[in-house]
Structures are given as structure tokens and as C-alpha cells.
Structure 1
Amino acid sequence: MRRGASGALAQSLGNVHTGDARDAWMGIARAFPRTSGATPKLAISGAPTPPCAAPLMPSKAAMDEVVGALMLGTLHHCPLQRLYRAVQDVCALQDTAAMQHVYNTSVARLRRLLDAEVDACLKRTPPNNVALHLECMWQSYVAKLARVEQLLAPLLGGAWYAAKVGTSLESVCFAHLQRQLQVLRVEPVLMQSVCAVAQQLREAPHETSLVRSLQSVLRMLRALGLYERVCGMLAAQASAYYTTLAHEFYETDPGAHISAMYACILCEDAWKDWLYGAEAERVLQAMQRTLVSEHVAQLTGLVPLLAEQHAYSTCSMLYHLLARSDVLDALRAALRDYVHERGMALVQGAQDTMMERLVAFQDETRDLWAEGLQHDRTMQHAIRDTFEAVVNARGGKPAELLAQYIDVKLRGGNKIMSDVQLEQCMDNALSLFRHMHDKDMFEEFYKRCFARRLLLSRSASDEAERSMLLKLKREAGPDFTEKLETMLKDMQLSNGLMAAFSDRDTRLPFDFDVHVLTQAHWPTFPDVHVALPPPMMDAMHDYEAFYATVHSGRSLSWRHALGYLVVTVDLGKAGVRELYISTFQAAVLFVFNHAKRGEAIGYETIRAQTQLEPSTLKRTLQSLASGAIPTRVLRKHPQGRDVLESDTFTINEALKNDRKRIRINQIQYKETAEEQRTTEERVFIDRELILQAAVMRILKARKTIAHTELMHAVVQQSKLRFAVDASELKKAFERLIEKDLMERVEGERGVYRYVA
């Protein structure tokens, strides 16, 4: 480095008054502070005395000896007090030649000592440790230099020194160190050693001692004017290191190294302000490009694996890595692909467990978003939109299965889970309902299941039923739950009617309960004819007469398919039992009232007396003779599951069941394709009426409206119940035009007018 560099350094440090050696050091402390610990103090006994008539003059030999002893720590019998007084006297007399002599002698000795220490440091230190050892040597040198500054305090604090030298003694020594390093050509070794320390720090980033040492070395290099050059070397080194590291990561298993990548970026981000200087942003960008941006496809391909393993903490690190590189769009795309692929596999899988698995998958995606994707709203929208597409991929089928799923949970209720768990289960089901377009289809199937729970007393909790209705009402509006609430109201009114019926003077020989339902609000149940015993028919006629007195002009239509009874039967050797059975099962068993013990009754006889249609009768006989062994109160001859018209039946006196009351379930037949089609047709008819009503409301308000605006307005009004198909909407327009309720405006294409 040129000689002028020391002058520039002194100029940058400023003119520091050196009356206090520690203040003089502060000028360079920004580049490179002292080590911790107290500054060594030089004790000079005796108070300073004013100059005498014959002032002392410090000799060159004495000054050289004392300065060397102070720096080397070999001070024993040196005349410190006499020498301090001599310096004081020279300064008091303003003898410029003498002050120059003292200064030159001291600085020369300090320079020789510094040269020796530098030489020793370079000789005994391995190249990779030169920077650290040199920095430690200088810190030690500065600490000892404070003793010399105390000895020369009268000189260093005087006006001559300020005018002649203008900088601290420490700055003078540091400038000499700078020149010495330049002469010895150690700059390449010095910067190489700094890079070695930086590499050690990358491999052990939590070693705080390395961090402090490297920071101190870099401050020294800044003072030496080498900082910019070493920053370039550090940046190139970091780029090469992370290129190699990325190759190692992606050649093996990148998923196992995400935490390591994340730690690298966090550490480099913490070091950037002092390690790389102006190169900091370039280093970080190169590192993120090498570790992340060039491998986005591989990183986002880890989403399914991390989600399946519930590795949300690792996924969170992946999110931050991609966010810093501004490639979250790729993560959103990968997330959509994962949710779609996994969701479609569930929707197209077995129907019996589809809803259970969809609910579980929805919970997983919610946890993934909250813990692994940092509650990112754009990620939430990606999950929600994809989930919505998945749920509606099979049209109205998921709506039917969701209604059945809720039915199972509400029938099981607190028998299989706590109230809190049931509430959470209903919230999850409602979340799926929120995604569904065909909410009217769900309403139809839910209404059927709800009716069975009410009429057959299968609901485990009235509170849970009301809570679910309230959730549906908040989600889909009061119109959606109007019929369901009416069904509950019918049950309450029926209880009041039965209380009044029971209070009459006329008493029935058995308990009798009737539910009167509003036909328009309840599902359509099959009207199956059955011949009942006279006592039951009498009870029904009696109730009809009573109902006519309460509601004149109304008629009752009986639906025996939903009736049930508790009857007492004598099974011979099997004893007397109570059976909880359906009305159809009871009608069959009543046929055996007039049979002799052990007498077999044929299928045709049973059919003639019960007047049940063949399919219903066969299912009923199967439930009594071919169901679970402990519930087979009849025996079929010959044995077998299928009931033939040639079969005969007898009372099963060998029944083995320890329970006094036995529940015998009616065998339910699966909905045929025709019945399913009928249900869907009923929903589509309702949709057409809803669309026509919406069109008429809009036309009445607007009088004339363009085709596009009308379609948009109708879709907005109907979207809470179902997804409007353009063909259905056009068909509704045509129907209203045929009914002369609206018309096309002549001369204006695509404009409709309301017809009063």
C-alpha cells in the first residue's frame, strides 16, 4: 500500500486529542475494537511537580529502554518517575526539538517492536489462521501501548503534538502495521485465511466465538483498506459452496435437507450486513437461486409426501424458502394438484366410506394450511377452490352421501362420541356442505333421513338435531330449513293431539301413538296397503273420528311403512318375549295367532291374510326367518335366505336369546335406479319453479332487461341452493314466454319485457 495511505487513515480518524489514551483508541474502534478487559494502568508514584530551574532532559537510551520495557512487560528498575518528569519538563518549556526527540525515539521503538511481533505471528501461524492470530496480536499490542501513552501523556496532550502529529499514537502504529503488511506481501494469505474462517462458520453456524472473531477480523480489514476485496472473495466462495451443497442435497433426498437449506438461508441472512458488505444482496440472491429457484419443481414435488406424513414443520420451512425466492405460485399449483388428485381418489372410491375420508382429508388440509402454509390466504383459496371442484365432480351423489353421513352420526350421537365431538363432526360436515353446488339435492335426501329419525325415534339427541338445523339455517338461509322446521313443529303438535286423545273417557286396550304430518313438508313415503288386525283398525278409526272433531275438513292418510309396535309373543319352548317390530312384521306374526303349535303356514296363506305386495312381504319374512340368528322368531322350510312362494313357516321354539325384549330390524331395500331418478326429477322440477320465480321477481322490478343481465341476476339469486345450468335457465325463459308472463322486445335483440 502507498505511503499516503497512512495519512488518509489518520485523516479519516480525525484529530483526536490524546490526553486520554482510551479516547484516542475510540477513533479506530469502529474498524476494530480492543479486547475486553481493563486497560493496563501505569502507576507513577509521587505527585507531578512543577518544572524546576534546571529541567530534566530524557535521553534517547532511557526512552528506548522504558518504552521497550513497557511493551514487553519487563519493567523492573526503569526510572519511570524521573522519565515522566523529564517529559513533563520538556513540554512545559515548549522545547520543540526536545519534544520531537522524545516522540521520534518512542515511535521508532514502538515500530521495531511491532515489526517483531508481526514477523513472529506470520512465522508461527498456519496460513488459514493468519487473520485470527494477527488480529489477536494487534489487540494485545494496543493494550500494552496504553502504558506508553500514559507515560507520554504530557507530550501527547500538548499543543505541539496536536499541531505536529495530529493523530493518536495508536493510529501511527496502525499505519505502520498497514505499511508492514504491504511490504511483506501477506494480503493474499490474509484474505485466504479470512475465507477459511468464513467457511468454518458456515459449517458450524452456531459457534458464537467464530462469529465474534470473524467480525473483529473484518473490522481490521476495513481499517487496512482490504474489506472490499475480501468481500468479493467471500461472495465468490459462498456461491461455490452453495452450488456444491445444492448438488449434494438434490442428488440424494431433498426432502431430508429442507431444514438444512432453511438454516443456511437464515444464517446467511443474519450475517449479510457485516460479512459481505455491498455484496450481501448478490450473495443471498445467488444462494437462493442455487438452493431454491433452480430446483422449484423438485421442491414443490415434495408437497404430497410432506402432507401425507403430516410433516407440517418441514412444509413451513419449504413455504418460507419458496416465499423468499418469490415462487409461491409454483407451490400453489402443486397444492392444487395434490388436493385434486387425492380428493378425486376419495370421491371415486367406495361410497360407504367416502364422506368419512373426505372429512378426514378436509381436516388434514386445514392443518396443512394453518401449520405448514402460515395461514396464507392465497393458499387457503387454492385449497378451497380445488376442494369445491372435487366435491362436485360427481354431481348430486356427494349431496346424498353427506345426508346419509350426518344421519349416521345423529342416530349414533352420544353413544359413540361426546357432545363436543358430535358438534365438531357436524361442523366438518357443514364445511363439506358449503362446498356443494347441489344444496337442494342435499336438502331432499337430508329431509328423508331426518323424517325417519323423527318418526322412528332414532335420533340420539334432540339438542343435536336443533343445533344442526340452526347451522344449516345460518349457512343456507331460512328458506332452506323451512320445511325441516315444520317437520319438528308437526312432531310437537302430534304430541299435543295424542295427549288430548289419551285424556278421553274411552280407553284403548293397548298404547297407541300417532304422528300427524303436513304432507307438503314431509318426504313422500310409499303408501303400502296392509290388512291389520281388527283391534288396530278400531284404534285407527277411533283416532280419525277424534281428529275430525279437532280439525274439521281434514282427512288422514295412513303410512304403515313407518309404523312400529311392541308386541308380546309366546314362542313355546323359547318362552314369552317382547318384540320391537315394524307394522308389516306384526301383521305377519298376527297370522300365527290362530295356528296350532308347530303348524306350518305357507307363503300364499300369509300373503292372502296380510294383503302385502310380494316384494314387501318377502323382505318382511326374510327379516323374521333369515335375519340374525338371535332374532329368527320364525323358521323357514326349506332353509335358505331367499323366500319362495312354495316356502312354509313355523314358530321358532328353539330361539336362543337372553334378552327379554328383542329388536328385529326390517330389511331395507336399496333405492333402485328408477327411484333415484324419480328423486332427482323431483329436485329438477323444484329447480325449474325456483328459476321461474326468480325470473318473475327480477322482471317485475326491472320491467325490461337484457338477456345477459337477467341470466346473471337469476344465477346470483339461486346460487345458494344449486349451480344454475345455462340450458335450464333458457328453458325457464321459454316456459314463461309460453305462459305469456314475459316476452321478447321487438327490434331489440336479447331484451325481455315483463307482461302484466
Structure 2
Amino acid sequence: MNSPKIIALDEGWNNEIKAKAIDVLEEMLNNGFDRKSQRLFAPKEYVQTYTTCYNMCTQRSPYNWSEQLYQRHGETICQYLTQTVLPALRHQRADFLLVELTKRWANHKIMNRWMQKFFMYLDRYYVKHHSLPTLDVAGLKHFKTLVYNEVKKDAVAAMIALVDAERDGAIVDRGLVKNCVELLEAMGMGSLDAYVSDLEDQLLASTKEYYKKKSQEWVESDDTPTYLEKAETALDAEKARVQNYLNAATEPKLLRVCELEILELRETVLLEKDGSGCRALLANDKADDLSRMYRLFGRVPNGLPPMAALVRAHIEGMGNDIINRREQRLTDKDTNQDPGFVKELLSLHDKYLAVVQDQFAGNSLFQKALKEAFVAFVNRDVGKYTNAELMSSFCDRILKSGGEKLSDEDVETYLEKTVQLFSYLTDKDLFAEIYRNQLAKRLLNQRSASDDAERMFIGKLKLRCGSQFTGKMEGMLNDLAIGVDHQSDFDAQHKLGIDFSVQVLTTGYWPTFSAIDAHLPPEIVQCTRVFKEYYDAKNSKRRLSWMYSLGNAVVKATFQKTYDLQVSTLQAIVLLAFNDDMAYDQVRQRVNLPEEHVKRVLHSLSCGKYKVIAKTPASSTIKNTDTFKVNASFSCPMRKIRIPMASLDESHNPKRVEEDRTVAIEAAVVRIMKARKTLSHQQLLAEVLSQLAFFRPNPKVIKRRIEALIDREYLERDPEVQNSYRYLA
């Protein structure tokens, strides 16, 4: 059996590998070939070269040429790069350098791949056994050392010049830049180190300088909306630039540099620019420009707070303008009815709530700005009546019959908007007290337009403030619902000969009304006696107290013809007391009403639109020396006449509001101290303020309530710690 022929190193290298493979490969790379197929060698040719290498690497020592072939593989590549590639690159500049570099890099990848195929057996055994760089990695390292390091400075400068040219509107070969980027990525040998250190860092620095100059030009020549349009276009272009030919990891860094130069460093100037800054855009309702401003400054760290501050200042200024206009309209006859003022506030809130939702995407910073602005001016009272009272009276106007002529949908819309405005009041308890008094008058005088609307509004308040806030209002409505059953039962058992109805109210739910011990006409005395007997039989443990100031009656009056006078119970008592001429004092003694009540009743009957009582001397005021008689000459085209009278009760009782606040403060203090046992004065103060949702008391008032609780031995001062309290169980 013949032994395999031993292949000498030079023989195998020169006659087979170099002559039939390497020289052919170099010639094709230099002279050109079909790059689409990139199939430079037929399988038979490739296998022949591979077999020669395999045989030379598997011969027994000393004829195993693995080490020598690995060395000659590297020398071949280095020689080609030094003698062919570098001379082709050294005299190229700018774009031409990049074109030649990408061409030579593409050739090198082909050469490296085929050299790896020819010497594949080295990779499988020799490289692994000796822990050497693989043939592919060795080829890349040679290119990096001999070619890339030589030309990278000029190449990167040319790439950045192309990027800047594209920024200025020139059309550049993006594919060329992309190929160069891929070269830089490959030079990292599996990492982006070369790309970052050689290109990205310089690109970011040049970008910074480019936009520093551009932004200065824009800010000097353009208004804020135009500047922001250019800024948005530039940022979109930079993002597209990364997608077109840069590494994706560059995007956040590149955009951050642009945002810093274009937006962050220019923000104050842009926001406050005269005639086109944030407040000007708000004043001129520039929705698209505001949206763009929000989007752009939202990209900048802490970019939105300065914008939100300007939004708040603008809204607060608009609100204060409305308050100032009301102040200028005030006269000595100021009333608690100013629906135009409340509608202006509602319209302002609608407008800027929509701006916050639509232009500022409901961002919490702008919601807070809106809230703080409205809290600032909604709680700024001018004139005799507080804004809380004006808002409550606005609701009263909507909810009572004969008020605003609105559809059910409009009523619900207005009530919802008013609740939103109400949420900004610091003295919510004051609103509740006023609203409860007005609700009582609507319900008791049958002036409520819709029970459903009443319940809906109370439900909206309950949703905002909880059941504790609306409990008494709900109780008032329930009293009326129960009263219908009472009345039906009473009517079924008693036939009085006149239409007599009673509404039983639960004391704790309704506002406090002053009881009047009037001298009643016999007809009313008989009716009240019968109802009292009926009610006592039904509820032996309850006591009835009659509130004549809240009732109403229909009195049949005959002058030249017969009229039905719709009056209050007190007006009816006074009318039924007349049978001849009477002086003021006689009227007062006969009806036994307080002087203030008598004067208001007589004024309504003798000085109003319908003068059913004649006064001597004729004047618009009631004096103790006046005399009165039935006006025999009274006539009116209507048969049913409603005679209004000025209210005898205040819209709310300030003293009661203060009493309720006192109780709420003390309850909060005790609740907190019971849970915490010991607390410093400042901590207790802060916690009490945080718990009181319906009003904001003065810290001095809280301090007085703490002193009162110490006197009543709920708390004590800590003897060991200054300005600290302890709970006494």
C-alpha cells in the first residue's frame, strides 16, 4: 500500500493555493465581477483548494503546515491591504473617499469570506486548539489596523459633512453614509465602541454646534409659533436620519442634544416672547400652536412646569378680570342674583378645561394649574354677597319654577358645570348652608321645577363631597315624600270644609326658623288643632312646632269683583284681621307679630304692585303712625293674584356656620389625637387642615379650639416636650 504523497510547504502554497485561488481572487477583486452572484469560484475549484489546505494541515510532523498556513493567511491579507487598498484610498477626499472606502470594504468582506472558506480546516482545529483569533476575526483586525485606522479621521469628517449638508436641504447619498456606518459598526468587533468613539461622539458635538447656531438665528428672526414649527421639523428630520442611516442607539442621544439646544436653552425666551409667547397663544385661542408647544416642551426635562405656571397666571388673570368687572357693576342695591357673572365663570372654566384636555392631553400639571387659578379667584369675594352665595342663587334660579327657561338637558349641563366650579370653593360648608336654605324655600313654597333635578344636583354634590355633606338635603326631600302619605291619611279621616294641608319637617334636616306665636284667625286655629290631635295620636313621642312664616294660603277677597289672593300665611293672618280702619299699633296687637314682620307684611300689601290695603299717608315705607284700611277701589284684570313679600329669613345663618365649623375642628383634633396619642402643635395643625375638606379655617381658630379641648380635659400639654400635646383617654 502506497503512503500519501507529502506536500512541501512552498510547493502546496505556490503551485496550488496561491496560484489557483488567492491570485485569482485578487485579480477578480481588482478588475471587477458580478457582485450580485458573488460566486467567484466553481465548487470544483473551491473544493480543490480546500483539499490542498486540508492535506497540508493533516500531514504528520514535521510536515504539518497548520502554523505556517495560518501565518501566510494573515500575511496575504495584510499584503493585499497594504499594496492595493491603501494606495487607492490615500489620495481620495470627501465623498470620493467614502465611495472608495465602501468599495474596498465590500471587496475585503468578499476576500475575507473566501479566505475563510479556503482555510476552513484551520478554524476547526488549529485555531481552537491554540486559542487564536478565527480567520474571520483576524481578517477584520487586519483591515481595522492597516486601513480603517489610517483613513477614519477623514472618513468621519466626510460623513459629518454629508449630514450637515442634508440638514441644510441638500440631497445626499444616504446609502453611501449607511454603508460607512455599517463599516464602523463592524470595526467594533461585536460592540459599538468604534462607532461611538469614532463617529457618534463627533456627530453629537457637531450637531450641538449646528443647532446652537440655527436656534439663535430662529429665535432672533421668528415668532414663537414659527420657531416651534421649525423645531418640530428639525426633530422629526433627526429621527428620520437615524432610521435612514445611523445606528438606532444614536437616536435618544441625538434627539437629546437637539432638544437641549433648540428647546431647553431657549424655553424661557420662547414662552415669554411678547405677542407670541404662551400667554399670547392662550389669549388668541391658538389651539394647534399650543398643542405643538406642549408636545415639544414635554420632551424636555422640567420643560412643562414653566409653561403650566404661565397657563395658571393667564387663567387667573382672566378670572380676576371677571371679578373686577362685577366689582365695577356693584351698586348700593347689590343682590345675590348675578347669573351673568356666574355664567362668565362657567364659560371661562369650560374654555380652559377643554384646552387642558385637548391641547395639553389632560396632563396633571395643567389640571393643577387650572385648579389653582380657579381657587385663587373663585374665592375672591367682592360686594355684599360671597361667590358661594351667588353660585347657590344661580342654582336656585335654575331649579325653581319661573326662573331660567331651560330644557332638562340644559338644566343638567348647567348644574354639572356649577358643581365643577363649586369644587374650587374653600368654604364649601357656606355654600351648603345657603343652598339648604334656598332648597327649603323652593320645597315649602312649591317653587321647585323638578324633583328629579333637585335629586340630581344633590347627587352630584354627594359624589364630590360625600354623604355627610348632603345628608340633611336628602333628609329634606325624604320629609316631603313622606308628607304626601301623611296628608292623604289626614284628609281621609277629617273633613274640615276648607283645603288645609300640613307639611311635617324633621328639625335636624331643615334650616332653623324662628317660631312666631301669632294670634291666628279662628279658621286656622280650628285646622291646626285638628291636625295636632291627629298627629299626636299617630306619634305620641314627637312634638309639633308650627312655623307660620313658611306657610302659604289662598284668601278669597271681594272688592268690585272677587279675587283669589295667593299669599304667605303671615299675610293671610294680617288680611283676615282687617274689618275696619286700623292704626299700625292696632294691627300689630291684633296679630301679635314682631314689629319687623308686621312692617314687611304691611309693606307687601299696601306698597307693592297689588295694593289690596290702602295706607294713609301714602308712601313707600311703613311707619308706626300710619293707618290702614281695606282698599275698596282695588281692581285687577287677573282673578288669581300672587302678592310677593320680602323674605323674613337670611339666606344663611353665619352664626350657625361658625358653630358647625367649631364642632368639625374639635372633632378632627380629637380624632387625630386619639389615633396618634402625642403630637407637636405644627403636626397637629397640618393634619387638621388636611382633614377639613369643606372649609379652610384660620390656624388661630384651630389653636383656640385646641385650648378649649385642653380646658375640657380631652388633651393636655406634654410636660416633657415643648409645643406638644397628649391625648387623655
TM-score by length of 1: 0.62
Alpha-carbon offset, residue 466 of structure 1: 1.9
Check if 1:492 corresponds to 2:481.
yes
- Residues 76-475 of structure 1 aligned to structure 2 (within 5 Å): 214-215=170-171, 243-250=216-223, 257=226, 260-261=229-230, 264-265=233-234, 268-269=237-238, 272-273=241-242, 286-288=261-263, 294-298=269-273, 302-324=277-299, 327-347=303-323, 349-350=326-327, 352-353=338-339, 354-394=341-381, 397-412=386-401, 416-475=405-464
Paired residue secondary structure (2:554): strand
> Partners in 2 of 1:449 and 1:496 — Cα distance?
24
**C-alpha deviation, 1:524, in angstroms:** 1.3
Map Cα deviations across residues 98-138 of structure 1 (whole Å, 9 max, x no partner). xxxxxxxxxxxxxxxxxxxxxxxxxxxxxxxxx9xxxxxxx
Please tell me whether residue 744 in structure 1 is matched to residue 722 in structure 2.
no
- 1:729 and 2:717 aligned: no
Question: Relative to structure 1, is the Cα distance of residues 234 and 337 closer, same or farther in structure 2, using a 3 angstrom cutoff?
Answer: closer
Contact 2:259–2:300 (8 Å) recurs in 1: no
Q: Report the secondary structure of 2:565's partner residue.
A: strand
The Cα of 1:478 is off from its aligned counterpart by 2.4
Distance 1:307 1:296 in 2: 11
| TM-superposed deviation, 1:583 | 1.6
Report what 1:590 is aligned to. 576
Query: Match of 2:544?
Result: 556
For the structure 1 residues 286 and 302, does the alpha-carbon distance in structure 2 shift closer, same or farther, using more than 3 Å as the test? closer
Measured against aligned partners, the alpha-carbon deviations of 1:124-173 in whole angstroms (never above 9, x if no partner) come to xxxxxxx9xxxxxxxxxxxxxxxxxxxxxxxxxxxxxxxxxxxxxxxxxx
Tell which deviates more after alignment, 429-438 or 557-566.
429-438
Q: Residue by residue, what CA displacement relative to the aligned partner does 1:204-260 show, whole Å, maximum 9, x if unpaired? A: xxxxxxxxxx535666899999xx99999999898777655543434xxx56x4775
How big is the shift at 1:626? 3.7
Deviates more, 1:402-411 or 1:362-371: 402-411
Deviations along 1:521-557, one digit per CA (max 9) or x if unpaired, are 3211233454332111211122122222222253322
Letter of the 1:331 partner, please give it. Answer: M
Partners of 2:177 and 2:513 in 1: how far apart?
A: 92
Distance in 2 separating the partners of 1:450 and 1:378? 37
Contact 2:518 2:592 in 1 (8 A): yes
- SS in structure 2 opposite 1:503? helix
Q: Contact conserved, 1:347 with 1:390, CA < 8 A, in 2?
A: yes
Which letter does structure 2 place at the counterpart of 1:554? R
Whether contact under 8 Å (2:426, 2:696) holds in the other structure is yes
Match of 2:626 in 1: 646
Question: RMSD of aligned C-alpha atoms?
Answer: 4.7
Closer/same/farther in 2, CA of residues 449 and 403 from structure 1, 3 Å limit:
same
Question: Given the superposition, is the C-alpha separation of residues 743 and 275 from structure 1 closer, same or farther in structure 2, using an over 3 Å criterion?
Answer: closer
Partners of 2:600 and 2:522 in 1: how far apart? 24
| TM-aligned CA distance change 1:301 to 1:337, over 3 Å | farther
The farther-off stretch of 681-690 and 603-612 is: 603-612
Offset at residue 464 of structure 1 (A):
1.9
Report how far residue 337 of structure 1 moved.
Answer: 1.2
459 and 262 in structure 1: CA distance in 2 versus 1, 3 angstrom threshold: farther
Greater relative contact order (Cα < 8 A, sep 6+): 1
Contact 1:258 1:317 (8 Å CA) reproduced = no
Give the distance between the partners of 1:17 and 1:607, measured in 2 at CA: 125
Task: State the alpha-carbon separation in 2 of the partners of residues 704 and 295 from structure 1.
Answer: 52
Q: 1:649–1:316: structure 2 CA closer, same or farther, 3 Å change rule?
A: farther
> Is contact 1:301-1:334 (8 Å) kept?
no
- Segment of structure 1 superposing worse, 743-752 or 732-741: 743-752
Residue of structure 1 in register with 2:522 after alignment: 534
**Counterpart secondary structure, 2:557:** strand
**Per-residue CA distance 1:503-528 (angstroms, 9 max, x = gap):** 22x41121111122222332112334
3-state SS in 2 of match to 1:494: helix
Aligned match for 1:693, one of 667, 671, 688? 667
Question: Which of these residues, 601, 606, 628, is aligned with residue 620 of structure 1?
Answer: 601
Q: Who is 1:509 aligned against?
A: 497
- Contact 2:175/2:245 (<8 A) preserved: no
- Check whether the contact 2:613–2:628 (CA below 8 A) recurs between aligned residues: no
1:663 alignment partner AA: R
Distance 1:479 1:16 in 2: 93
Deviation at 1:738, TM superposition (A): 1.7
**Are 2:218 and 2:227, in contact at CA under 8 Å, matched by a contact in 1?**
no
The alpha carbon displacement at 1:442 in A equals: 2.4
Q: Which amino acid aligns with 2:600?
A: R
CA distance in 1: counterparts of 2:655 and 2:641, whole angstroms: 40
Query: 1:366: how far off?
Result: 0.6
Unaligned runs of 5+ in 2: 1-25, 39-94, 96-159, 182-198, 328-335
Amino acid across the alignment from 2:33: T
Identical-residue share of aligned pairs (%): 26
* Matched residue count: 552
Distance 1:514 1:307 in 2: 57
Task: Give secondary structure in 2 for the equivalent of 1:579.
Answer: strand
> Where do 1:9-20 residues align within 5 Å?
18-19=33-34
1:684 to 640, 649, 658: 658
Deviations 1:625-656 (A, max 9, x none): 4434xx44455555543344436555374644
Separation (CA, whole Å) in 2 of partners of 1:265 and 1:689: 62
CA distance in structure 2 between the partners assigned to 1:487 and 1:576 by the alignment: 37
Normalising by structure 2, what TM-score? 0.64
In the alignment, is the contact (CA less than 8 A) between 1:300 and 1:330 conserved in 2? no
